[in-house]
Structure 1
Amino acid sequence: MTDTTHTAPKSAPKPPGRLAEFWSYFKENRGAVMGLYVFGAFVFVALFANFLAPYDASAQFRDFTLLPPVWQEGGNWSFPLGTDPLGRDMLSRLLYGARYSFFVGILVVVIAATGGILIGLLAGFAPRWLDTIIMRLMDIVLSFPSLLLALVLVAILGPSLINAMIAIAIVLQPHYVRLTRASVINELTKEYVISARVAGAHLPRLMFITVLPNCLAPIIVQAALSFSSAILDTAALGFLGMGAQPPTPEWGTMLAESREFILRAWWVVTFPGLAILFTVLAINLMGDGLRDALDPKMKRS
């Protein structure tokens, strides 16, 4: 007697979602994962600086000026990282400085990316003569050293943190324009765009709904790298006295205020410098991981 029972066919394994696929590629880069953790800590500190900082960033303790860190002879546990020349707690100022750096990075990236994407889309869809004019203007901006151009713009607008952010956003914008234009031109030759044109899609829909979503991967990577550039350039402008003005606890401004004490109070210069170094390094490592995970050419077949 034959057995007529049939086993149910096994269902095919469900393919991983986009987020799971992205993470599988991203986590292969250990430096990127480490950078992500450091960046997460940076964001946490920036958001909760009010609760984490033991003192107000501008509070002065004149009896404890240039107090060394707690592990050095003469240190005080009330000020774990020491104090600056005005008796302000270094730890509190560094924590509040993370908030300013995060705010600078977000605002600069939003301004630069928004303007750059719009201009890049326009250049990609524009007639050749208009495209040529736009790209030559971007080439002129890129021909100047970025920090020098930012200095000129801040000198025109006036030294302040807001004006420094506007200047840096203008300097970073051509990178988004060129990247968006190149991605748009690459997408325009694909079948789905041709089908949308034949179906009668209007130009705004074609630009923002059909083409733009498929150009976002390299733009996201550029945004991550621009975030670190914005923090670094803002610190440079602050160090030169053209960015945030004292007593703002911005890391570059803290360096500028303390540079004359570098030989006899190393901590007032070292800690802000290390904060800039580790933050920018972490964001750059994270940007490399984003590139590896989002760029199809970097993925394994």
Structure 2
Amino acid sequence: MSDASSATARSVPTGRPGRLKEFWGYFKENRGAVMGLWVFAVFVLIAIFAPLIAPYDPTVQFRGNTLQPPAWQEGGQWQFPLGTDAVGRDMLSRLLHGARYSFFVGIVVVVIAATGGIVIGLIAGFAPKWLDTLIMRLMDIILAFPSLLLALVLVAILGPSLLNAMIAIALVLQPHYVRLTRASVLNERTKDYVIAARVAGAKWPRQMFVTVLPNCLGPIIVQAALSFSTAILDAAALGFLGMGAQPPTPEWGTMLADSREFILRAWWVVTLPGLCILVTVLAINLMGDGLRDALDPKLRRS
């Protein structure tokens, strides 16, 4: 009897390692998500080690080599593997450092938007009816505006800079977290474990952050992954419009803005930053789909 019990206990995965293994089992069923994860990991490593990988400083100008195409140079040396821009800056070095700015923008925006949105959503989910209605109508007003247009207006008020662009994008994305958190809280509040915690005397902050929030993290994590790509796109769009990162910052959107007048005679100065944005956003979206499939029990295959 004891042998059978011990065998059963060994067969049941317990603890965090078991849950992570189960999550990875569902996640890897989506091949696109796994591919997106690998591409995302490569870009993360590039962003971290950009100063070591880049052959030149991204702001150094080689005035004698302006708009050089991606090609071998004289003497068999690969001096500018991806060419140079209009003022002679190495495109490879600028693209590598641009990954740092794009991922920095994504991380900061997601942290600000998610933190504020989760707190407000928890308050709305536990608040009296009048306060809940007030908060949600305010979120509806924000969502009524086109996101990029609202971010552009906020940056125009705050002043063009990368920091102000991140703040504006975070404020625009925050209502999505508020609505998602509130919906999850309302779904969890009526369950037995929350009622038991309330009967046991748990205060409202403990009910919100300790009892309910951990069970609402699944959809929030998926939303964070998708918001990461949205933040990169919006930051690039603001940079392209001259309202985000300012020259000579090697940000992908700013690089597009600086090179748009050379699109017909120097394809690489426009195509390469655009490809970086495309591949990064596509990889993050594919990874977000995999997270959704792995974290949502309704989408799991039997």
2:107–2:228 Cα contact (<8 Å) kept: yes
Aligned residue type for 1:15: V
Q: 1:11 aligns with which of 7, 15, 33?
A: 7
Please state if 1:39 is matched with 2:40: yes
Q: Distance in 2 between matches of 1:279 and 1:55?
A: 23
Q: Distance in 2 between matches of 1:191 and 1:277?
A: 45
Q: Distance in 2 between matches of 1:137 and 1:15?
A: 47
Secondary structure of 2:39 counterpart = helix
The Cα of 1:20 is off from its aligned counterpart by 0.3
Q: Distance in 1 between matches of 2:77 and 2:168?
A: 41
TM-score, normalised with respect to structure 1: 0.95
Match of 2:147 in 1: 146
2:72–2:78 Cα contact (<8 Å) kept: no
Secondary structure of 1:166 counterpart = helix
Q: CA-to-partner distance for each residue in 1:69-88, whole Å, 9 max, x for gaps?
A: 02699x96110000000100
Please state if 1:161 is matched with 2:162: yes
Residue correspondence of structure 1 range 1-301 to structure 2 within 5 A: 9=4, 11-12=7-8, 14-16=11-13, 17-70=18-71, 77-301=78-302
Q: Percent identity?
A: 80
Secondary structure of 1:70 counterpart = coil
The Cα of 1:156 is off from its aligned counterpart by 0.1
Greater per-residue helix proportion: 2
Q: Where does the alignment leave 5 or more consecutive residues of structure 2 unmatched?
A: none
Secondary structure of 2:11 counterpart = coil
Q: Distance in 2 between matches of 1:14 and 1:193?
A: 30
2:73–2:79 Cα contact (<8 Å) kept: no
1:104–1:231 Cα contact (<8 Å) kept: yes
Relative to structure 1, is the Cα distance of residues 265 and 76 closer, same or farther in structure 2, using a 3 angstrom cutoff?
Answer: farther
Q: Distance in 1 between matches of 2:278 and 2:77?
A: 26
- Measured on the aligned residues, the alpha-carbon RMSD in Å equals 1.8
The Cα of 1:300 is off from its aligned counterpart by 2.9
The Cα of 1:274 is off from its aligned counterpart by 0.1
2:72–2:79 Cα contact (<8 Å) kept: no
Relative to structure 1, is the Cα distance of residues 7 and 108 closer, same or farther in structure 2, using a 3 angstrom cutoff?
Answer: closer
Q: Where does the alignment leave 5 or more consecutive residues of structure 1 unmatched?
A: 1-5
2:252–2:277 Cα contact (<8 Å) kept: yes
Secondary structure of 1:11 counterpart = helix
Q: Distance in 2 between matches of 1:76 and 1:162?
A: 39
1:70–1:76 Cα contact (<8 Å) kept: no
Aligned residue type for 1:47: I
Count of residue pairs the alignment pairs up: 296
The Cα of 1:15 is off from its aligned counterpart by 2.9
The Cα of 1:56 is off from its aligned counterpart by 0.4
2:228–2:284 Cα contact (<8 Å) kept: yes
Secondary structure of 1:159 counterpart = coil
1:69–1:76 Cα contact (<8 Å) kept: no
Larger Rg over CA atoms = 1
Q: Distance in 2 between matches of 1:205 and 1:113?
A: 19
Q: Distance in 1 between matches of 2:188 and 2:214?
A: 11
The Cα of 1:174 is off from its aligned counterpart by 0.1
Q: CA-to-partner distance for each residue in 1:59-111, whole Å, 9 max, x for gaps?
A: 111111100002699x9611000000010000000000000001000000000
